[in-house]
Amino acid sequence: MNPPRDKTFLRVEGLRKRFGATAALDGVELEIAEGELFALLGGSGCGKSTLLRCLAGLEQPDAGRVLLAGQDITAMPAFARPVNMMFQSYALFPHMDVAGNIAFGLRQDRLPKRDIAERVAAMLSLVQLEGFGGRRPSQLSGGQRARVALARALAKRPRLLLLDEPLSALDRNLREAMQRELVGIQARTGTTFVVVTHDQQEAMAMATRLAVMDRGRLVQVGRPAEVYEQPNSRFVAEFLGAANILEGTVTASGAEGQHIAGPGFGILAAGSAAPGAQVAVAIRPERLRLERAPMPAPPAPNQARGTLRGVAYRGEGFTFHVVLEGGAELRVSQPNQRRVTEAPVAPGEPVLVSWDDEAPVVLTS
Amino acid sequence: MSAQALRRLVLAVPALWMAAFFLAPFAILLTIAFGQVSEGLPPYTPPLRQTPEGWRFVPSAESFALLLEDPFYIEALLRSFRVAAVSAALCLLLGYPMALAIARAPERARMQLLLLVMLPFWTSFLLRITAWIGILQDQGWLNAALLALGVIAEPIPLLYSEFALYLGMTYGYLPFAVLPLYASLSRQDPDLLQAAADLGATPFRAFLQVTLPLSLPGLLAAFLLVFIPAAGEFVIPELLGGPSAQLVGRVLWTEFFQNRDWPLASALALALLVLLVAPIVLLQRRLGGA
């Protein structure tokens, strides 16, 4: 889903960047609307940070253009861009106090002293650090440093804020609290955020839209639920959450969809591939149901038969590891809705796995 | 051997070293400084000496009094400090861009560039300073080159001047400035400069507001590393400087070896030591408190 053309605020056209033999960016096309909280998601080395740094002007692309509000800023140096960035390392100036750090960008614009003091105070209250203006970065906790870095990046009221792994240095509880806070601040200031993260939970929890990157390309772009529910590729399915991938052959296509069969399973999924076609299907572990197999019988559509190999107790639920007759493996996760500590099926037992019609997604690449 | 005994042994080595090569000479210096000039070998009488009435401690402050009375010595000290300060400043001015360039060079080139900075140490210091005489004298290479190019009509006197003195000092001590500056600059987080640029600072302003203030400890270290040995430098002013350059190193030499006034020379050496060490101790205490 791309935003309507007239509302496009940031546009990236054919961006390419090579580092030696590797293509960090391999023809990236992207449109982001004003006020979005857009997440760039991918593993390390996928090019997401390079893309962000090209937006900030800290990296010069080999080819392509970056347009901000219709203006081509590709050749504009970083210090001239109306864009600010929150660095992964926070990059706070150790020789300045918190107020000095927040005021740094404003001083470059040679704002009057009184205006700077007012803005610094407003920023400190925005990130709930009132009274911390005189502290040195070395005297702050990790969470407080993240807040200072955010306040400093927002102080110049940029129309576009870039966040490079903003919360990766924080422990899990603090990270979740800061995610909510970032979303709140984004909504209050109306600033367009582009967040780079390798944490898919973080991307899905925060973003209005996200892009999954792999080897310098945007593999899929859309709302978090869209991308999670309808991954277009094996990479996206496996990167965003957990996924079972079953490979089978289309046996029949009709009005109700396509029948796909493989050793130990049968699938009825949307689509109409020609019979005989090889397809890969993704099914999320939480969409699967598991029961002790009643009696040997060929699997009906949207069923699989196999043997339970192992059970992992995760506290919030169980993960069952099932091996199908043909050797394919399935992960089945079941929430612990009642207080159960004993798995309902024991390893070694034959099991029947089933799912609803809309659970399987045929992968296109 | 227990771990504690081992630790004591390891710590004893530097302690013994300091005792043998710093404290003992210092004590000898003190003894001589409070002694009196006399004929003979050694050419002084120590403050603790055997008299007909037995062992007596008779310290003499004569040499210190002479230091304060005769403006010659104080002027030599002040002149030495001025020369050392100007030399250190010149080394910083030249060394800072060098250190910055090395710190920002590609990682593979850095070690080679540092090696180039240290390369002069592989040749004798005396030889290198003597080589400057060959370059600077009236029939030297520099004058010959300038004459050949037609820049000058007759040789200009370069050697035995303030110019030659500062040239030699800067040349000799430059590596001592580059190394601590490099150590300080290469430790700076490159993200900080990117953050400065991102916040609107032009490269020059980012240098003034981020790189320079963060390198102040390195600048201080580099200054002291040049200033302290330069203040007592003997060879360079002797070989390249003019006759008017009565620096404290030359005065020490004269008092020890020509006038054979060991107490006065020792008192002067002590004064130099105290004047060099006291500000550093005070500075360290202030920085340590901050």
* Closest alpha carbon to B177 in B86, B98, B82: B98
The complex's ipTM works out to 0.85
Q: B104 to chain A, minimum CA–CA distance in Å?
A: 16
Mean per-residue pLDDT, A17-45:
94
Q: What is the pLDDT of residues A279-291, one digit of tens each?
A: 999 999 999 998 8
Provide the pLDDT for residue B290: 45
Q: What is the pLDDT of residues B13-58, one digit of tens each?
A: 999 999 999 999 999 999 999 988 888 778 888 888 877 888 888 8
Q: Do A89 and B196 touch (CB under 8 A)?
A: no
Instruction: Check CB contact under 8 Å for B195 and A56.
Output: no
Confidence of residue B149 (pLDDT cuts 50, 70, 90): very high
**Which CATH number fits the domain A5-238, given the four candidates 3.30.110.70, 3.50.30.10, 3.40.710.10, 3.40.50.300?**
3.40.50.300
pLDDT value, residue B78: 93
So what's the pLDDT on residue A166?
94
Residues near A112 by beta carbon (within 8 Å), at least 6 away in sequence: none
Partner residue facing A108 (CB), from B192, B201, B213? B201
Q: Which residue has the higher pLDDT, B143 or A364?
A: B143
List the beta strands (DSSP E) in A116-235: 160-164, 192-197, 209-214, 217-222
Q: Which of A10, A39, A4 is nearest to A222 (CA)?
A: A39
Interface residue of A49, A54, A79 to substitute, partner B, most B CBs within 10 Å: A79
Whether residues A104 and B198 touch (CB distance < 8 A) is answered with no
Q: Which residues of B touch A (CB under 8 A)?
A: 189, 191-192, 194-203, 205-206, 209-210, 213-214
Substitution target in B188, B193, B199 with the highest count of A β-carbons within 10 Å is: B199
Nearest partner of A101 among A56, A52, A55, A138, judged by Cα:
A138
Tell whether the model's pLDDT for residue A4 goes beyond 70: no
Contact between A132 and A124 under an 8 Å Cβ cutoff? The reply is yes
**Euclidean distance between CA atoms B18 and B20, whole angstroms:** 6
Cα distance from B183 to chain A (closest Cα, Å)? 17
C-alpha span between A324 and A306 (Å, rounded): 4
Could you tell me whether strands A71-72 and A192-197 are parallel, antiparallel, or unpaired per DSSP bridges?
Answer: unpaired
State the Cα angle at B43 between B40 and B45, rounded to 5°.
100
Domain ranges across chain A: 5-238, 242-362
Instruction: For residue B1, give every residue at least 6 positions away whose Cβ sits within 8 Å of its Cβ, in sequence order, or none.
Output: B9
Tell me whether domains A5-238 and A242-362 share a fold.
no
Query: What ranges in B104-161 are assigned the alpha helix state H?
Result: 107-118, 125-136, 141-149
Instruction: Give residue A206's pLDDT.
Output: 94
pLDDT of residue A186: 94
* Chain B residues touching residue A105 (CB < 8 angstroms): 199-200
Contact A66, A59 (CB under 8 A): no
Instruction: Judge whether residue A55 has pLDDT over 50.
Output: yes
Could you report the per-residue pLDDT of A98-155, keeping only the tens digit for each?
999 999 999 999 999 999 999 999 999 999 999 999 999 999 999 999 999 999 999 9
Within 13 Å of residue B86, how many CA atoms lie on the same side as its CB? Answer: 12
Q: pLDDT digit string (tens) for A78-104?
A: 999 999 999 999 999 999 999 999 999
Contact assessment for residue A279 and residue A248, using Cβ atoms and an 8 Å cutoff: yes
Please state, rounded to an integer, the average pLDDT across all residues of chain B: 91
Residues 6+ apart with CB under 8 A from A277: A249, A250
| Other CB atoms within 10 Å distance of the CB of residue A253 | 16
- φ/ψ (deg, to 5) at B50: -85, 120
Residue from A73, A86, A89 to probe the interface with B (highest B Cβ count within 10 Å) = A89
How many whole angstroms separate alpha carbon A313 and alpha carbon A249? Answer: 34
Given an 8 Å threshold on Cβ–Cβ distance, is B198 in contact with A78? Answer: yes
Residue A130 to chain B, least CA–CA distance (Å): 22
% of chain A exceeding 90 in pLDDT: 74
The CATH number of the structural domain formed by A242-362 is 2.40.50.140
Looking at the whole model, is its pTM more than 0.80? Answer: yes
Digit-coded pLDDT (tens) for A263-280 = 889 999 888 888 888 999
pLDDT in tens, A193-227: 999 999 999 999 999 999 999 999 999 999 999 99
Q: What confidence tens digit (pLDDT) does each residue in B82-119 have?
A: 999 999 999 999 999 999 999 999 999 999 999 999 99
- What domains does chain B contain, in order, with CATH numbers? 70-259 (1.10.3720.10)
